[in-house]
Homo-oligomer: A and B are copies of this chain.
Amino acid sequence: MKVHAMWDSYPELKQDLADVLSLIDSRIHVRNKAVEERIKEMVYSGGKLLRPAFTLLCSNIGPTYKKEDAIAVSAAIECLHLATLIHDDVIDEASHRRGVRTIHADEGNKIAIYAGDYLFSVCFTILANHATSLSDLEFNARGMEKILSGELEQLNSRYQFNVSIKDYLTRIAGKTAQLFAISFYSGAVLSQSSRRVTMISRNIGHNIGMAFQIKDDILDYRSDFSALGKPVMSDIRQGIYNLPLIYVLQNKPSVFHDLLAKGEAMTDHDLEEVMNLVDHYHGLEKAEQLAEKYTDKAIKQLKKLPDGEYKSIIQEVMATLLVRSM
């Protein structure tokens, strides 16, 4: 199973996504075969492939449908995503991702850094061999900086009890929403949509990305506390505070300070207490509400796009991804 089962109901899209993975696969040539194998495993590790899927779907918005181009740009976007994941795992010292041991954990920092660099270069070289110019696709220095600096912001704001909602939103706008925006935007550009439609598409991508990341951060609290390698636990220990916690920190700071100040020394019991307090003071509920606001915006904007099968699929995918969980 190479393509995630969530696409089973859309056989054509599923086939295109399989072609995206094949294209990436065909571009990966590393003399060190063990490393090549690990990079390919990462490509086929069963992620949802949301970003390439959105690009493929949006390449049906405008009057021109260029399948080959859409697959190439989707592949480049997925490579960029995978590159940042590999480097994130080095930075977060993560041992597992999607249930599989990370390249960082198995092969060490050094190989993981180069594997990420290599996927960056595959991203750009796929785009380079491609008819549409990169600047048309908004692969510009500002956009890339947004993607990369999301992580830097995160490092910078560690252990700040007074981190604001705005800081959090800026962080996830870079870390997640920017690449979703590029996915939508690129598809719309490829299909030669009008400027207006292209900008709406981009905003939809941004809003879906924002909602998706907030939901993801909420899910970290909801999943079984004993789940191995639960990311929210290590995030909180490392001083990275996500939306539900930030909400309650703003209103009930004193309850948390002593606990959070322990940092890496926080026990599992401490963490469980933090998580219960977040729930008790309605942090999760407020975060859900904000996710919903972004989802609503996206739905409203989606209505403005030309009708088509792509549009109903985006709606269905949003319903699956962003369904209210409480």
Contact = CB atoms under 8 A, between A and B. Distances in A.
Copies of this polypeptide in the complex = 2
A320 interface: no
A149 B117 contact: no
A228 to B, nearest CB: 23
Interface residues of A, number: 47
Interface in A197-243: none
A30 interface: yes
A114 B129 contact: no
Interface string A101-128: 0000000011101101110111011111
Contact of A91 (B27, B110, B156): B110
Contact of A142 (B29, B116, B128): B29
Interface string A29-58: 111101100000000000000000000000
A289 interface: no
A152 B113 contact: no
Interface of A: 27, 29-32, 34-35, 83-84, 87, 90-91, 109-111, 113-114, 116-118, 120-122, 124-129, 133-135, 139-142, 144-145, 147-149, 151-153, 155-156, 170
8 contacts: A30-B145, A32-B153, A32-B156, A87-B117, A90-B113, A111-B155, A114-B151, A129-B135
